Amino acid sequence: MRDVSEDRSQRHRSNEATIVAPATPAGAGAISILRLSGPEAFSISFRLTGVAPSGHPFRTLCRCTVRDASGAEVDTGLAAYFPAPNSFTGEDVAEIHLHGNPLLVAEVAEAACALGARPAEPGEFSRRAFENGKMDLTQAEGLCDLIAAKTALSARAALRQLKGGILDAVAPLRERMLALQVLLEASIDFSDEEDIAPLPTTQVKERVSELKLTLSRLIASYNVGHILREGATVAIAGVANVGKSRLLNRLLGEERAIVTEIPGTTRDYLSGELSLQGIPVRLVDTAGLRETEDPVEREGVRRSREILAEADLALFLLDGSRRSHDGDRRAYAEVEHRPHLLLRNKSDLPSLEAGERFAGQGLRGALSVSAKTGEGMEALLAAMIRELAPGEGAVFEEAPMTRLRHVAAARKAVAALERAEKAVGEGLSMEFPAADVREAALALSELTGEIAPEEVLCAIFSSFCIGK
């Protein structure tokens, strides 16, 4: 591992290349922006646009004629300069605004490369911003999530992370760990001094316990955070012909699945996207869970079981117009010990099944719905929101953890604190809990990117689009 805070300036000096890439999406449009960053950004932009950095106010758009490397006119546009360190990357940054023709963008980018720039790698602008101290690693991830957000709620959560929400939660914890480490080490180094009292073990335990509790709350926020970032998978399950496909169509508001009275019509899963009060949801209609000799339907059932095993929530349907049978109960075993809602469908028909014999973990009774008429849909949607985002009002005010990387680092810190707690309880020398607390602080440094393996940084920034 390397300490980013210590060698950041050294790596900045060694990063002498000027990079160029479109900062706007590919395709035709009104405007396309070409961005340059690095020591030659200003001089290359000047040769392309004729706009001298010294002759115009910084961060102000100036009208210009854009030329290629040979001086031939290519387009008319605008140019702006953002001097280091007050730019996105912390380096000199130049932007050239062109008409949104991909051919023009490619031609000017090629001209920039002919004048000394090189094409930027995916996420390289953001990585330079990170390495130059413009943002921490969680903020860089928040930027990536903001660009990719599918709902307004997801975008707001990503924006809170971009503005330092996770960093604001983690940094004080790390400072408290370091302060405790100093006290523990002082009690070792100055144990012979009469005027320095050793730190009481009860106080050490209390501080460690408080740190563990706060970290546990942050870890719990991942339950909502990963759903906001990645979306939730909700699988519709049950035996054949209980109305799964009709429910999919009802929830999506479109005829996505074929609906017939013939059992086994859905032989493979179908899916669609919807937003539940800002929660992105992938809704999946699975094949009827039953044993069959049909090889195609059997493969559909196998795939359905795989989806159910990974789903964040299952909607298990019973046909409320008939009594349940052994096939229903065998199918219910697929979801019984996973998060699920029990739905008694076909409430528009006389009821013969109440669902009282189905008692999965945490189940609060069956919801009565009609996928045909829409009865009970509002109650179903409200129940789905409660299951996918419990207590969302409090959680959404802050930036939740959104990646397994965050959770792994926080759990590593908790494990180290637990070892410190055990060492104190066993009456070991304070050097043992001091080392454990130091390890917990280092784990949080990994989370924010102050200490980060090169492969982690490459994996994160390579997922960004080119030009960001």
The span from the CA of 346 to the CA of 238, in Å, is: 14
φ/ψ bin of 257: left (φ > 0), alpha (ψ from -120 to 50), beta (otherwise):
beta
Helices (H) and strands (E) in the chain, counts: 17, 14
Residue 46, pLDDT score = 96
The span from the CA of 406 to the CA of 220, in Å, is: 11
Contact by Cβ (8 Å): 309, 231 = no
Contact by Cβ (8 Å): 301, 320 = no
Q: Convert the pLDDT of each residue in 74-90 to its tens digit.
A: 999 999 999 999 999 99
Residue 451, pLDDT score = 81
**Residue 396: pLDDT over 60:** no
Instruction: Work out the pLDDT band at 48, boundaries 50, 70, 90.
Output: very high
Residue 190, pLDDT score = 55
**Residue 223: pLDDT over 80:** yes
Residue 364, pLDDT score = 60
Residue 309, pLDDT score = 86
Which tokens is 373 given? 């008429």
Residue 456, pLDDT score = 77
Q: How many CB atoms lie within 10 A of CB 404?
A: 11
Q: Which domains does the chain have, with CATH numbers?
A: 2-132 (3.30.1360.120), 146-221+400-448 (1.20.120.430), 234-391 (3.40.50.300)
Look over the chain and give the mean of its residue pLDDT values, rounded to a whole number. 85
Determine which of 50-64, 95-109, 191-205, 394-408 has the lowest per-residue pLDDT on average: 191-205
Q: How many CB atoms lie within 10 A of CB 99?
A: 15
**Residue 267: pLDDT over 50:** no
* Distance between first and last Cα of the chain: 25
Instruction: Work out the pLDDT band at 158, boundaries 50, 70, 90.
Output: very high
Average pLDDT over residues 435-453: 91
Q: Convert the pLDDT of each residue in 16-39 to its tens digit.
A: 899 999 999 888 889 999 999 999
Residue 176, pLDDT score = 94
The span from the CA of 92 to the CA of 280, in Å, is: 38
Residue 241, pLDDT score = 84
- Give the rounded percent of residues in the chain with a pLDDT score beyond 70: 85
Average pLDDT over residues 187-216: 77
Global pTM?
A: 0.79
Average pLDDT over residues 208-231: 91
Q: Convert the pLDDT of each residue in 226-257 to its tens digit.
A: 888 988 999 998 888 888 888 998 998 876 44
Average pLDDT over residues 289-302: 63
Q: Convert the pLDDT of each residue in 167-187 to its tens digit.
A: 999 999 999 999 999 888 887
User: Which positions ≥6 away from 326 have C-beta within 8 Å?
Assistant: none
Determine which of 57-66, 123-132, 224-233, 303-312 has the lowest per-residue pLDDT on average: 303-312
Give the CA distances from residue 78 to residues 38, 42, 108, 305, 466, in Å, rounded to whole numbers and listed in that order.
Answer: 20, 14, 13, 56, 21
**Residue 392: pLDDT over 70:** no
Instruction: Work out the pLDDT band at 73, boundaries 50, 70, 90.
Output: very high
Average pLDDT over residues 194-219: 84
Ranges of H-type helices in 234-314: 244-252, 295-310
Q: Convert the pLDDT of each residue in 419-442 to its tens digit.
A: 999 998 888 888 899 999 999 999
User: Which positions ≥6 away from 88 have C-beta within 8 Å?
Assistant: 37, 82, 125, 129, 134
Does 117 or 460 have the greater pLDDT score? Answer: 117
Residue 43, pLDDT score = 96
Instruction: Work out the pLDDT band at 359, boundaries 50, 70, 90.
Output: low
Instruction: Work out the pLDDT band at 94, boundaries 50, 70, 90.
Output: very high
Does 353 or 371 have the greater pLDDT score? Answer: 371
